[in-house]
Structure formats: structure tokens, C-alpha cells
Amino acid sequence: MKITRTKAFKVFSNPIWERNPISGQILGICSALAVTVQLKTAIVMGLALTFVLACSNLSISLMRKLIPRNIRIIVELTIIATLVIFADQVLKAFLYDISKQLSVFVGLIITNCIILARAETYALGNPPLLSLLDGIGNGLGYSQILITVAVLRELLGAGKLFGFQVIPNFFYAAGYENMGFMVLAPGAFIAIGFIVWLQKTVSKE
Amino acid sequence: MSSHIKSILFAVVLSIVCGSLLTLASTGLREYQLKNIALDKQKNILKSIGLIEDKKAPSLKTVSGLYADYIKEMWIDFQGKLVPKEKKGENDLPVYFYVKQEKIQAYIIPVHSRGLWGKIAGYLAIKNDGTTISGFTVYSHQETPGLGGEIEKDWFQKNFAGKKILDDKGNFVSITIAKGAVQGRIPTSKHKNFVDGISGASMTGKFLSAGLKRTLIEYEPLSERFRKNEIK
């Protein structure tokens, strides 16, 4: 059997494009608007969410037969909150500048609906390995959209990528101007809208 | 009944496990975090006098190197007299001097102000004439991102450079954040005592103006001595 046909591969790859949490299920929009002004913050945010999602899926799936049904949401949130605070502490210790830019949004991963959605609908009913793959897949799907939006916004809004000037100066001399609109939140809305549109059109076939 | 006990037991065990994991992480990483905070402080002091720019992220070595070369930490008493760090009293205030070519170019005072949602902390640098602001930075605040949170942005802080804390007659008036743009709202003769405010964040501006005024009054004895050229 080819690797692309296995269930594990499908679990991993589906959320990256086909059932993408942002463009397919319209989850986690808040942070996608907030942290995508610059590519650097978007990447770190994507990594942080992928880490939290993979770990929460794995640990919840490992405990899925132990967790009492009547308090399962509380249990899930406790685990997620622990992981998020841990990620936040690590960022503060090693990537201080970026953690200052991300400000409240790392903490807000706790309320990011993607994580609770995956814990509820997937990790509670599936074995650990598949849940881990599902978590990484969804995290990468989220990061992928974040990075695409951030590239669009930083390039069009500031003419830069990773903080380095990309659009050459003679463009500006010839009358080109940065699109200030892309730096603002509505710019991200429109960019995400285009991605959703593109995704729906392509995956229909 | 037994299912209830099981739920409670599970919750208790989970809380203990999660709690201890977080305690471990927090104590283990504290040293690194404190180092970052100290460095960030130095960076902000350097930024307020324009030695480093926000755009280019300087390496850690440049920051501590520049800081060691140019910045001198001192304390002042209520009369504005300088007190060495070892002899500082309880009510003495910290101040940082920007020393270049053996001469004090500017003095930097820490600003702690109330904000709308929490404390605002930053640095205000004043040139050695004791009147002209050379820069202002904010390194910690809890204001709403996009509204009051703009106080940490370059465009807002740049407005402070070149403004004065004295009016035309030489009286102390502090520096005030206007409600909106200064142009058209404030009489031209007072332009130098006002900076552009942030639309949608009048409260943040109000609190920060009050905080700046209070701080400047505390440091007025020192500013006075700079104006009289008593400190070089």
C-alpha cells in the first residue's frame, strides 16, 4: 500500500488543505487577523499553536478512556491551558521580542476554537498516534494560512519580508506606494476571504 | 455516587500534575526571563536617546556594549543632588545619564504611570538643557492593542522628540498628550508642549499625561539644576 493511501497520512494531510481549520472550517480567525502583519510573528504563532495542538491531542487521546465524561470539557481546557502557559513561558525566556509582539495572543491560544474542536471531535475518540498526526496536520494547516496571509500583508503593506526590504527602491521612485490598508485588520479579512474562495473553488473538483 | 467521586479525584490529580508542571517550567525559566527583561530595559533606555533604532533589531552584544559605554546609573535626592548608588536613601529617585565625551548629553528618567487597564512603564529622555525632550519609550503596558496600545509604537513616541516641558515664559508646564492631532486643536504658541494623541484612546492619553506630569514634577529639582548649568 502506498503511504499516501494510509489512514494516518490522510489524517495528517487532510487538514492542511482539504479540511483546513481556517479556510475550510472558518475556525481561529481572531488570531489569524491579529498576528499576520509580519511574517515572523505569524511563523512563531503557527509553531506555538502546532505545538499546543499536537501535545493536547496526544495527551487527551492517551487519557481518553480515563477522562470522566461529565467533566471532559474542563479537563480538556486544563490541559490546553497548561500547555499554552508553558509555551508562553518558553517564548518569554528565549524569544522575548517576538513574545512582546504577540502579546495577549499566545495566551488566547487557550480559547482558540481549533484546539478544543480537535480535542472534542478527534482526540477523545481516536488512538494517540492518529490524534498526534491530526494535531500536527491541523497546526500546519493553520500555520500555512497564517504564513500566506502574513506574506501578502507584509509584502503589500510594508514592502518587506521578515523585516527586510523586498520591493526595490526604484519601484517607489516610479510612484509605487505601500498599501496601508493591508496592515490593518480588514486587510487580513479580505486576504482570508480570497483564500477561502480559492480553496472552495479548487477543492470542489 | 462513585462516578462523582471518580470525577472529583480525576480533577484533583489533573490539577496537581498540571500545577506542578507549570511551577517547574516557571522556576526553571525565570532566570532567562529576568535576563531578557533587564536587557529590554537597557534597550529602551538606549532607544529613548536615539542610540538604537526600533527598526533594526540590535544584537544582544551591541545593546549591553552601548549601555556600558554611554549610560551611567545614578540616584538623586529631593533637592536634585546626585547620590551614588551605594549611598542612596529610601526616597531617592533613579536617573540615567547619557554620557558622551565626558559630558552629560541627556538624562533619562523612568516613567511609571497609570493607564486605562493597568500600569504603563517607560523612559523619558531630556537633553542637558533641562527643557527639551529627546525621546520617549514605553516598554510595558496593558492598553488595548490597536487603540491605547499604540503608545508603544514608533509614530507615537517619535512625536515627543524636540518638544519642551517649559512654556514660552520658562514656566514648567509638563508635556501633554492632546485629544487627537495637535494641529488645529491647540494654539500654535503651545504646540511645543503637546504631542498628537491617539484617536480612540483619549483615556490612555489622559492617564499618561498625568503620569508624565507627576514624574516630571518629581524630577523638577534635577531639571532645574540642568537649566542653571550646574551639572555637566
What is the identity of the amino acid at A117? A
Q: Is A169 within a domain?
A: no
Number of independent structural domains in chain B: 1
Q: Is the pLDDT of residue A109 over 70?
A: yes
Q: Is the pLDDT of residue A59 over 90?
A: yes
> How many Å apart are CA B31 and CA B27, to the nearest integer?
8
Q: Are B142 and B118 in contact (CB under 8 A)?
A: yes
Q: Is B2 within a domain?
A: no
Confidence (pLDDT) at A1: 57
Q: Which domain holds residue B221?
A: 73-227
Interface check for A78 against chain B (CB to CB < 8 A): the answer is yes
Q: Is A190 within a domain?
A: no
Cβ of A90 within 8 Å of Cβ of B29? The answer is: yes
Measure CB to CB from residue B10 to each of A68, A81, A90 and give the nearest one.
A68
As a whole number of Å, the end-to-end CA separation of chain A is 25
- Which residues on chain B are in Cβ contact (under 8 Å) with A92? 29, 33, 36
Q: Is A174 within a domain?
A: no
Confidence (pLDDT) at B1: 60
Measure CB to CB from residue A68 to each of B7, B29, B39 and give the nearest one.
B7
Confidence (pLDDT) at B130: 85
Strand partners, B127: B106
Residue A168 in 3-state DSSP? coil
Q: Are A155 and A33 in contact (CB under 8 A)?
A: no
Cβ of B6 within 8 Å of Cβ of A68? The answer is: yes
Q: Is B129 within a domain?
A: yes
A12-50 per-position pLDDT tens digit: 888 888 888 888 888 888 888 888 888 888 898 899 899
Cα angle A186, A191, A197; round to 5: 125
Cβ of B14 within 8 Å of Cβ of A103? The answer is: no
A153-172 per-position pLDDT tens digit: 888 887 888 877 888 888 88
Q: Is B211 within a domain?
A: yes
What is the identity of the amino acid at A98? I
Write out the three cell numbers for B54: 526600533
Q: Is A34 within a domain?
A: yes
Q: Which domain holds residue A97?
A: 23-150
Q: Is B5 within a domain?
A: no
- Spatial CA neighbour of B150 closest among B200, B195, B191: B200
What is the model's pTM? 0.74
The answer to whether ipTM exceeds 0.90 is no
- Shortest Cα–Cα distance, A187 to chain B (Å): 14
Residue of B nearest to A34 (CA): B145
Residue B87 Cα distances to B17, B82, B90, B230, angstroms: 47, 10, 10, 21
Strand partners, B132: B164
As a whole number of Å, the end-to-end CA separation of chain B is 79
Cβ of B36 within 8 Å of Cβ of A92? The answer is: yes
Residue A35 in 3-state DSSP? coil
- Spatial CA neighbour of A143 closest among A51, A7, A77: A51
Which pLDDT tens digits describe chain B residue by residue (232 residues)? 678 888 999 999 999 999 999 999 999 999 998 888 888 888 888 888 877 765 556 666 777 888 888 888 888 887 777 877 777 777 788 888 888 888 888 889 999 999 888 899 999 999 888 889 988 998 888 887 667 888 888 888 888 888 888 888 888 888 898 887 888 778 888 888 888 888 888 889 999 999 999 999 988 888 888 888 877 6
Q: What are phi and psi of B109, to 5 degrees?
A: -115, 140
> How many Å apart are CA A7 and CA A109, to the nearest integer?
28
Confidence (pLDDT) at A205: 55
Confidence (pLDDT) at B232: 65
Q: Is B113 within a domain?
A: yes
Residue B130 in 3-state DSSP? coil
What is the identity of the amino acid at B100? K
Q: Is A82 within a domain?
A: yes
- Spatial CA neighbour of A199 closest among A63, A14, A6: A14
Q: Is A15 within a domain?
A: no
Q: Is B37 within a domain?
A: no
- Spatial CA neighbour of B192 closest among B133, B123, B137: B133
> How many Å apart are CA B162 and CA B127, to the nearest integer?
9
Q: Is A46 within a domain?
A: yes
Burial zone of A165 (CB within 10 Å; 0-12 exposed, 13-18 middle, 19+ buried): exposed
Q: Are B18 and A79 in contact (CB under 8 A)?
A: yes
Number of independent structural domains in chain A: 1
What is the identity of the amino acid at B209? S
> How many Å apart are CA A128 and CA A8, to the nearest integer?
11
